[in-house]
């Protein structure tokens, strides 16, 4: 155990695992419609345990940084394999972005060595009326829609990324815990790039463990971190003066991006009065090959 800003930090690590990730730049006439498409396209994307993919909004781009000179929002989509990721990208782009007023969709990983033919598949919706086009040197498709045309890039880069970065905020009460979690999410969102927070509002109140004690499930509630159970079980990890625990989960395009997100989030959470302890979830190395030690993340000796 060590301390940061007076808050106890457990000397442990977050355990992470590899997933394939795609990154999509959504542009639109204005911020409202760009974010509308982004939120819809990343829906039901919290955990690969049961969601069809993990997904989230990375951030916003000003018109001077997008391909077509319009406001943009970047999203990320994750899956275990490239074929499954391709399928999810096709489904989410076609159902949530193509249908959304004024939007276009471009590859957010143009330098990636591996590509999946997402736009080339979606073009078939044009029923033979689709046409090739070029936007800023990128091969794209114009698909006729009732509003006018939907522009989508022909192929999208995918990379082996890192999922499951996390830390646990333990607080005296719900108000302190929720404020700390919100401050952590705000800091990560403002200061970090190439990461997403896939859970609702970036916060998870129902952390899970692998498997189940009683049932045949892939995952179940992380009972050791449930405050209501601390007097009922022998393996509780909840301190006596803690009554709320929140988990912040971070996926990123590389491990350094995830570690940066963890650092910013922990620093922000540790400033909130009522936070007792910060820890991280792991399974002793059985879940994945990547580790982020909290001491290293915070760059403490």
Same fold, 2-15+161-297 and 20-159: yes
Q: How confident is the model at residue 301 (pLDDT cuts 50, 70, 90)?
A: very low
Q: Are strands 208-210 and 290-293 parallel, antiparallel or unpaired?
A: unpaired
- Name the architecture of domain 20-159: 2-Layer Sandwich (3.30)
Q: Name the pLDDT band for 300 (thresholds 50, 70, 90).
A: low
Rg (CA), the chain: 21
Residue 108: both structure tokens together? 């957010």
d(Cα 276, Cα 44) in Å, to the nearest integer?
Answer: 32
Q: Which residues pair with 99 in a beta bridge?
A: none
Spatial distance between the Cα atoms of 122 and 193, rounded to a whole number of angstroms: 28
The domain locations on the chain are 2-15+161-297, 20-159
In terms of pLDDT, which residue wins out, 89 or 286?
A: 89
Q: Rounded CA gap, 40 and 180, in Å?
A: 27
**Does the pLDDT value for residue 284 go beyond 80?**
no
First to last CA, the chain: 12
Which CATH number does 2-15+161-297 carry? 3.30.70.520
Q: What's the pLDDT score for residue 286? A: 76
Helices then strands, counting H and E runs in the chain, come out as 6, 17
Paired tokens of 106 = 């471009």
């Amino acid at each position: 155990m060590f301390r940061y800003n007076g808050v106890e930090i457990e000397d442990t690590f977050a355990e992470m695992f590899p997933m394939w990730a795609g990154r999509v730049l959504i542009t639109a006439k204005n911020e409202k419609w760009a974010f509308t498409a982004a939120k819809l396209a990343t829906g039901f994307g919290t955990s690969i345990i049961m969601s069809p993919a993990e997904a989230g909004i990375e951030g916003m781009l000003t018109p001077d940084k997008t391909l077509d000179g319009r406001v943009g929002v970047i999203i990320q989509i994750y899956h275990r394999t490239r074929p499954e990721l391709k399928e999810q990208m096709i489904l989410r782009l076609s159902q949530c972005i193509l249908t959304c007023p004024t939007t276009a969709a471009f590859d957010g990983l143009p330098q990636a060595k591996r590509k999946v033919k997402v736009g080339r598949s979606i073009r078939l919706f044009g029923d033979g009326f689709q046409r090739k086009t070029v936007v800023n040197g990128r091969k794209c498709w114009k698909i006729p829609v009732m509003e006018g045309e939907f522009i989508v890039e022909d192929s999208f880069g995918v990379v082996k990324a890192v999922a499951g970065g996390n830390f646990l905020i333990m607080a005296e009460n719900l108000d302190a815990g929720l404020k700390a979690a919100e401050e952590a999410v705000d800091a990560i969102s403002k200061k970090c790039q190439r990461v997403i927070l896939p859970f609702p509002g970036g916060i998870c109140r129902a952390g899970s463990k692998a498997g189940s004690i009683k049932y045949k499930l892939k995952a179940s509630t992380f009972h050791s971190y449930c405050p209501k159970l601390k007097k009922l079980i022998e393996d509780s990890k909840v301190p006596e003066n803690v009554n709320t625990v929140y988990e912040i989960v971070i996926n990123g395009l590389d491990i350094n991006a995830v570690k940066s997100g963890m650092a910013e989030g922990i620093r922000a959470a540790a400033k909130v009065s009522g936070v007792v302890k910060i820890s991280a979830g792991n399974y002793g190395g059985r879940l994945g090959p990547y580790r982020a030690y909290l001491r290293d993340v915070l760059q403490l000796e």
